[in-house]
Structures are given as C-alpha cells and as structure tokens.
C-alpha cells in the first residue's frame, strides 16, 4: 500500500508502511543527490539551478533523522517480529548518520565558497522550515497509520484470545 502526497512546493513523496523511513534507502538517496550537487558545482552550475537536488538531499537527511527517532521508540509489532538485530539496525543508522554529517560538512564548504556564509545560514533556515512542514504533513500521517495498525492488531489478538477462552469455557461446561 503506497500513496503519494505533495508538499506545498510541489515535491511528491511516497508514503507507505515501509517506504518512508529506511536508513539504508535514505542515505542512498542522500548520497545520489549529494553527488549530483557536487558534480553540478564542479561543472560550474550555480546553487539556484540545483534546488531540486538540494531538496532531495534535505528530504533524505530528514528521513534518516526520523529513522533514528523511530529506532529509539519502535512500533509494537516491530519489537515482536523484527528481522535482524537491534544492534544491526543501530549500526546501520549510526553509519548513515556519520556519512550524512560528512556530506553536510562538504556541502557547507561548497556553499560558503560559492555564495558566502549568509547563503549557508539561509539554507539552514530554509531546511528547518521545510523539515517542520514535512514532519507535520508526512510524519504525522505515517504515525497515525502506524498507531491504527497497532490498535487493529491488538483488537484482533484480544478477539482471538477471547474466542479461545470462550471456546475452552464452552468445552469445559459441555464436559460436565
């Protein structure tokens, strides 16, 4: 089940059970966008012409931060039926986070060299604004969907246990 949503700037995002917050996918997307930005600067493109790549990079970094947050407080069913170890996932997030920090530092140097410190400060402010809007729009929707699925799972589990208890009670009463 994959839906798309569009933010106020017209960017489309995939929303689904497993599509939004995967650290490996997020860092791969961030790396691809970062490489496009670096190659753009190396051939003389200006920062304005690379707004799409910068936006893609910011979105992937935002997904990475959200995956770290969700790893600290995983959904109920992920705790129960998780494939792979907690340590493995934590290491993947840690490594992706360090790579993202390196990319951010390189991007900072590129922007400061080409546009000055004020351009970097403006980019950080814009990134913060975009992140807030995106979190309100996309992550809140994903969180609601996760909570609904957990409640449905708990209700089904309670119904199964209740049905089994009633069945056992019925069999006990019939055997007397």
pLDDT in tens, 132-167: 887 788 778 888 888 999 999 999 999 999 999 999
Per 3-state DSSP, the chain is made up of helix, strand and coil in percentages (nearest 5) of: 80, 5, 15
Token pair listed for 154? 């708990």
Cα 23 from chain centroid (whole Å): 7
Which residue carries 């992706």 as its tokens?
A: 96
Q: What are phi and psi of 34, to 5 degrees?
A: -65, -40
* CA distance linking residue 115 with residue 154, whole number of Å: 54
* CA distance linking residue 62 with residue 65, whole number of Å: 5
pTM of the predicted structure, to 2 decimals:
0.59
In the chain, the N- to C-terminal Cα span, in Å, equals 50
14: helix, strand or coil:
strand
20: helix, strand or coil:
coil
Answer positive or negative: Cα dihedral of 135, 141, 144, 145.
Answer: negative
For the chain, which ranges sit under pLDDT 70? Answer: 1-21, 74-86
């Amino acid at each position: 089940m994959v839906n798309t949503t569009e933010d106020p700037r017209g960017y489309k995002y995939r929303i689904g059970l497993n599509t939004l917050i995967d650290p490996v996918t997020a860092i791969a997307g961030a790396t691809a966008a970062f490489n496009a930005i670096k190659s753009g600067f190396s051939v003389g493109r200006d920062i304005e012409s690379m707004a799409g790549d910068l936006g893609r990079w910011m979105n992937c970094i935002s997904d990475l931060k959200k995956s770290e947050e969700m790893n600290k407080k995983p959904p109920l069913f992920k705790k129960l039926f998780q494939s792979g170890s907690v340590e493995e996932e934590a290491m993947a997030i840690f490594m992706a986070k360090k790579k993202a920090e390196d990319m951010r530092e390189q991007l900072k140097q590129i922007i400061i060299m080409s546009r000055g410190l004020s351009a970097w400060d403006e980019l950080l402010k814009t990134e913060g604004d975009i992140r807030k809007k995106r979190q309100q729009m996309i992550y809140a929707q994903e969180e609601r969907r996760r909570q609904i699925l957990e409640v449905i799972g708990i209700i089904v589990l309670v119904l199964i246990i209740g049905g089994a208890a009633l069945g056992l009670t019925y069999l006990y009463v019939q055997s007397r």
